[in-house]
Chain A
Amino acid sequence: MKKKIIYLSFAAALLLNGCKKSELDLFPYNQEETGQAFNTQSDVTLAVNGMYQGITASGSYYNGAWNIVPDLLADNLIINQAGRLSQKLYGEWRYTASATYPLFNGGYTIIRRANAILENIDKFPAGAFHDNAMGEALAVRALVHFDMSRVYSKTYANASASDLTVPYVTVTDPSIKPSNETVKGLYDKVIADLTQAASLVGTTNGVYRFNKNSVNAILSRVYLYKADYANTITTATAALGASPNVADIATFPKIWTDETTTGVLFKIANTSLDNINTQGTNYYQIVGGQIKSEYVVEYNFFQQFASNDVRKSSYIQTSPYNGVSYNHVIKYGGRPGGAAGVIDAKVIRAAEVLLNRAEAYYRSGLESSALADLQLLKRNRYTGYVNEVLAGQALLNEILRQRRLELAFEGDRFFDLKRLGLPVVRDQTHGEKADGSGTPYVFGTLAASDFRFQLPLPQAEITFNDNLKQNPGY
């Protein structure tokens, strides 16, 4: 009986003992509380890296579909019928609010990361560290807002005062339901942020982060879209320095294999560990040792690449797939010995800034300066180039033609047409094959006034956020 009582009391003790409530306080092993994310300077460095990581990881930004969609929305690329027929939605202008370009969500994910830094940065003493981090955050916030407005909205120059764009978000408050910003308002805020960033950001951050030059480079892009040519010239000059280096003919091909950073002002790292091959697979995969393209160079555009143009061999390879010859875009093939299609994402290059300035010079009536910039670029692209003399419309046309050639397959063409108020006009007589045969474009023209120049905002956001207005036409 005694034994039983011992057992019984033991059993009772087991029952009553239970466990400590603290057993329920579990925390993830790879995370920290949001409130603890900005305690030290190294936390800020981690957060700044996290902001850029957002660009690396976004499937619709510089390391994603950005390098192809604006080209196939326009007239630089034509679909290869032998490919997987991917991304047809864009080339045929058939996007809808429920299937639109997804930069909206991805963009604000990056913006939140910038805003978190800006909300916390004043915990740290004034000085170079504080200013640099703040400058980078302001610049990223501005860049993403500006790029979203390029996709979803009219540009400053062709928008009315009441034309709307995406909201300009500067807080991390999760309860916001912001309404649209006006296009003009957004440009003002982008410029304000970038201008402040340029005064804060350091000069030694390297090409994988924003630095003073690259902030000015982006500013020159924004001012060009705003048609503020004086400021385009000022900021472009600040970015380029006294002797602009757009990479010479020997160096230029190495930009596309990440073997040089010459001529690159800002790019997003995509390491072999990150292993994101979207930039490459947007264009092609290698099947049976042959390039199998999703999209190939449009027939007439291909003819624009002269044989002494280093860009022709750097950007394009004419080779057969299944016995048919195509003009494949090889700009994103990958690093030597590396994984196919894994390559850093170029955000802005000196050549673009030079072309921004050339155009701004021209539109400011400074034709000789414009011509000098044009010659500088062409000298570094065409073997045996002899300075030519161009003036008036011919000069402008050549600047714009060089812009199309230089920035081909980098996500510029559609926005450029939009900025210039030009329609997309496609040749419906030639197909995708190198000899011009094959299947021509099914859809030929997008008028400059067509609502589809402004892609729709995502339906999910419109449904949820009743303050946000959809673009006209959708």
Chain B
Amino acid sequence: MLFFLLTTVTSIFAQGRVVSGAVSDEKGTPLPGVSIRIKGSPGGALTSTDGTFSLRVPANAKVLQFTSLNMEPKDVALSNNSNTLSVTMTSTSASLQEVVVMGYQSVAKKDVVGPVSTIAGKEVAQKPIASFTQELQGKAPGVQVTGQSGRPGQNAFIRIRGSGSINASNEPLIIIDGLPVAAAAFSLLNPNDIETITILKDAASTSVYGARGANGVIVITTKRGKGKPELRYSFQYGHSKKLPLYNLTSMNAQQKLQYEYEGQYTNGLLDTMINNRKASGAFPAGATLFNIPEAQRQDLWNTLISRSSNWEDLLFQNAITKSHEIALSGAEGRIRYYFSLNSTDYQGILYASDFKRTGGRLNVEYQATDWFKLGTNLGVSFSKDNQLREPFNTQNTNAGFYLINPYEQARLANGNYNPTLQGLNPLEGTDFNPQQIKKLSSFSTIFGEAKFLKHLTVKSQLGINYNTFNEEYYLMPGSNLANILGYNQKRVQANQDYLLVYTNTANWTQTLGGKHTFSLLGGMEFNKDKVYNIQLIARGFPTASVNTLDNASTPNTTSTSRSDWSLISYFANGSYDYKKKYFITLSARRDGSSRFGKDVQFANFGGVGLAWDIKSENFIKWGSLSSLRVRASYGTAGNNNIGNYDALGTYALNARYNNQGAAIPARLPNPELTWETNKNYDFGLDAAFFNNRLTFRADYYNRKTQNLLYPVNVSATTGFTSYTGNIGGLVNKGYELSIGGDIIRKKDFTWNVSVNYTNNDNKITQLYNDNQVAANTGSIGWLKVGEAINTFKLVQYAGVDPQTGKDQYYKKDGTITTTFPSSEAVLLSGKSPNIKYFGSINTSINYKNFDLSAQFYYSGGNYIMNYMWQVGASNGESINIPQFTEAFNYWKKPGDVVPYANLNDPTQNQTFDDTRWLQKGDYLSLRDVTLGYNLEGSMLSHLKILKGLRLYVQGTNLLMFTKFKGQPEVGLANGESAVQPGVYNLYAYPQFRSVTFGIDVKF
């Protein structure tokens, strides 16, 4: 095309005159590659690298049009008197920031109708956390974020405006550069590559994503180059440590031995010591722990304690996090680019836990002609994770601390690991049963975009998210677990997940008569996801030093499997405004999902949004008001987050009996299985005062879910307990408030404070089968119309009887019994794992070159079944494992008013799931503090090559205020149990506190 243009210039318009000149930006920097066209005539030129140009123009030419990426287009009238021009173009970058990426299109921020929250990339960058999802906490009202656990690379649970579903996923749809990405890939996206995160919450915004927008949509855009080339190097170094359990103290060795003695329990180590002393004659034949003199007993204890190890130091480590990053970005004429490379090493706080990631990104846009643009966003990342297991036993390192007694030793006299009384030492397991996970992810989109007829843009994009997952789990020969199982074994699992998204859109935008602006978008999208799994197991390795399966003598399992889903979508979106005063948007969408019954695969979704900019009306005269706008929207969105083939009644053929093929019923059919739909109302108000120094935003929302996807119970006598069906409805309603103020706004000194608050009320409105146990809640969560989902149903605890020392429980009729009455459990109205309110308090101060920011996050209104407390204060039921010091406060004599029953009454040596262990999950945490020092511009002018320098120190989870016994931020119970988040805790990878130092240098 360039060639074509140049030829025309020289051949046809040989007559006329030559105009030459220079083009620069506001700062006087020459702009290369600016396209210059002659209005009304074909032909043109580009500026050279020094910003100059020379162009032959016909005699009748009057205006030259200058266009360049990131610059506002400029028309310059030709003067008859002069053949030289000096053109200054202004950067569009300022207005670029005001654009919100809404999904298939970008909308100027002032034209956005819905309650959209935008988070700048820098708010999630440079933290010692691999997955950006954890960093969204507190950043926007209505977006409730709970870290799943403290495992490096772990994602967060995100709930936008409450849990709209019971069993289908409640996670929002996350779209990275137009590509809906699988959760497994989140930790592989470098958070520093993120330009903006847009959170779409209401129907006006999400319904264009209809199909899967029911839980909200998070749209992530990675960085684009702009301006002059810039090279940035960032380095970060940090230390992390386990957060303590709050309000609980573990017994030390002496205390634990005393407690065991009081509970008349002789542990295996003491038992052996006593037997040895009996055999040697040091103790008489009938000696027991309870009949030897106190001095001898203490002597035994001291011997034991002297051998014991400091398990806290061994199981937990002072984790070091390190990261390096180089990024090069810029824009020049027709091309924009952003290129980055990063390498991070996040140690986890558990022994030998480590997550390493290396990756790169290249985003390029090329304006091939003035009407055709093409581009690509390519991200590739590789991670290596020394995965630690998380079951409820000592194969879980964190559980090891709560299950291995403090008087135990980590290694035996011969230097080998001590299996401990638990039979498995997590340190030994980590060393000799390594589990390593390698992931490779690529996020790639390529697109072409053409502009026609002034107002029409047609875009075609192909996106691929390719994730591989490779796990190697080796039970080394000679390892404790291999000896227990009677074989050594290596398991290799490889998984490929290939998601292809093909999107085509056409967009017509036009302003008529300066008053009426309308935009129409139409498009289609096709998603196809294929997962391919390989599993290989072999046994009989000769030695631990070799670990590839060719070394094994006995092949065991060779297996592959596949699974796939697809989604076809058609959508249209229209928006119109009159004088930027009255806004309306309409959207419609039709989606078909392979997961539903054949005749009900398709569903229609749609939404309407209205906004009124009251400030621009003439009748508003209040001087201090800088803006005022009201909004309303209504629409529908869907949810199809269930298994791939849940509608089909099938027999599985992948079973075997006696090493021969077998067919077993796999699923009951449900040909009527269809979309869960969400009707979403939103009313909002935005206001700003005093030249935008004080901003205020409020929203009320009401999300009604219908056709909830959930396992429908059937009688277990049918051989099944459920099938997937649409079972009822629920509602989430609440309000979001945010207030921000610039308390000080001076040239060298700014201080702002912002607060946001969200209140969410979750309630089941309809169930075809009311009053049933909720799946994946350990049978303590319940579903009942009028209550929040997973509301706890427990027997009510009535305290310890001061006279008898027995635990007491209430029956439904109010009477008290000392026999645990499991059938007397009552639904605890209002007590559920659903967080009812949350938000954050943020402040930042900039003084000259210093900046200081802090974020407090608070969350509450939820209840948590505290199993870690129950196990550690167990009335003697778990006297063989570590207990918390408060367990000493047990009943000893009539009249004692104490929290724990008589330790020496065997009928009381048992704990039950009763209300005693159910605790409020309220907390306030100082999540983040950052102090930075910046050197820029003039201060660095004598250092020619350096454009900017930033040094900072950042702290995470520095303070916590809670009454909960333990860690109140409960995500996963543990990594190996399928429990609804927040229902109970069970030794998940603990959260951490960290301090990080960083440096950013720009060249």
Contacts and interface: CB of A to CB of B under 8 A. Distances in A.
Partners in one complex: yes
Interface of A: 4, 7-8, 11-12, 14-15, 18-19, 21, 23-37, 43, 46-47, 49-50, 52-54, 56, 81-82, 84-85, 92, 94, 96-99, 104-105, 108-113, 115-116, 166-167, 169, 172-178, 208, 269, 271-275, 277, 285-289, 292, 321-324, 334, 338-342, 442-443, 458-461, 463-465, 468, 474
Contact of B423 (A84, A108, A273): A84
A22 B17 CA distance: 63
B654 interface: yes
B269 interface: yes
Contact of B666 (A31, A167, A442, A474): A31
B3 interface: no
B715 A272 contact: no
Given A15-B523, A56-B657, A112-B719, A322 B483 contact: no
B773 A463 contact: yes
A111 B769 CA distance: 25
Given A28-B644, A35-B649, 5 more contacts: A31-B648, A37-B651, A50-B665, A99-B822, A339-B487
Given A46-B662, A277-B485, A323-B272, A31 B720 contact: no
B950 interface: no
A7 B657 contact: no
8 contacts: A18-B526, A23-B528, A33-B651, A98-B825, A174-B718, A340-B484, A442-B909, A464-B772
A323 B652 contact: no
Which residue of B372, B570, B654, B716 has the most chain A CB atoms within 10 A of its CB atom? B716
A113 to B, nearest CB: 7
B659 interface: yes
Given A174-B668, A322-B272, A285 B423 contact: yes
Contacts of A465: 715, 717
Contact of B718 (A21, A94, A99, A176): A176
Interface in B220-236: none
Contacts of B20: none
B994 to A, nearest CB: 36
A54 B664 contact: yes
B5 to A, nearest CB: 14
Given A15-B524, A34-B650, A96-B822, A21 B664 contact: no
Contact of A113 (B423, B523, B570, B664): B664
A279 B593 CA distance: 44
Contact of A49 (B594, B660, B716): B660
Contacts of B88: none
A111 B719 contact: yes
Contacts of A85: 878, 880
A32 B656 contact: no
Contacts of A82: 268, 271, 421
Given A31-B650, A50-B657, A474-B823, A113 B665 contact: yes
B93 interface: no
Contacts of B505: 15
Contact of B644 (A21, A26, A340, A460): A26
Contacts of B79: none
A340 B485 contact: yes
Contact of B663 (A26, A47, A112, A464): A47
B265 interface: yes
B715 A178 contact: yes
Interface string B536-556: 000000000000000000001
Contacts of A84: 422-423
A24 B529 CA distance: 11
Given A31-B653, A53-B657, A7 B772 contact: no
Given A32-B651, A34-B649, A174 B714 contact: yes
Contacts of A28: 563, 644-645, 648, 650
B881 to A, nearest CB: 9
Contacts of B598: 25
Contacts of A272: 556
Contacts of B480: 287-288
Interface string B923-950: 0000000000000000000000000000
A321 B268 CA distance: 9
Contacts of A288: 419, 480, 483
A112 B720 contact: yes
Specify which of B268, B460, B661 lies most central, judged by the most chain A CB atoms within 10 Å of its CB: B268
A49 B268 contact: no
Contacts of B265: 81
Contacts of B528: 23
Given A49-B656, A49-B658, A50-B655, A23 B568 contact: yes
B460 A14 contact: yes
A275 B485 CA distance: 10
Contacts of B458: 7-8, 11, 15
A7 B423 CA distance: 71
Contacts of A52: 657-658, 662
Given A15-B504, A31-B645, A43-B663, A25 B715 contact: no
B661 to A, nearest CB: 5
A108 B715 CA distance: 10
Contacts of A334: 486
Given A7-B452, A24-B601, A31-B653, A273 B823 contact: no
A174 B720 contact: yes
Contacts of A26: 564-566, 594, 644-645
A172 B594 CA distance: 27
B829 interface: no
Contacts of A338: 486-487
Contacts of B272: 322-324
B565 to A, nearest CB: 7
